[in-house]
Amino acid sequence: MMKTLLTAAALVVAITTSAAAETYNYACKVDSNGNTHLYAAKIDTKARTLTWRGTVFKNLKFGAAISDCAKYCFEATQRDLVVYVSTATQGVATLQVIGTQPRNDGLLEEVDCDLVRK
């Protein structure tokens, strides 16, 4: 009987406690040869991924896990690249692609983004 009660209590806690997992979608403006293009950046905190230009970056870190962040930030990796999204107020963010290997070390791309509200 006690085992059944403990199992039921654990199930109630699991159902009523929701994880803070969210998906954030940003529209990012990329200037190319005098033209402006919009690309989507998708941040999925449940899957711990960040998708940019069709490439999925994994090992997503966010919030207090990232240093040097003014408001709220996200960081994800893929082979020799890191994508860093720094949010500001009113849904504005900056997305940076940073190379981590000697041949492409440093900032490779930086774009401004706006949160897509539902």
Q: Is the pLDDT of residue 3 over 60?
A: no
Q: Is residue 106 part of a domain?
A: yes
Range of the domain at 111: 20-115
pTM listed for this prediction: 0.77
Q: Is residue 105 part of a domain?
A: yes
Q: Is residue 10 part of a domain?
A: no
More confident residue, 31 or 13: 31
- Output the CA angle 26-58-76, nearest 5 degrees: 60
Q: Is residue 73 part of a domain?
A: yes
d(CA 118, CA 34): 30
- How many domains does the chain contain in total? 1
Across residues 20-37, what is the average pLDDT?
Answer: 90
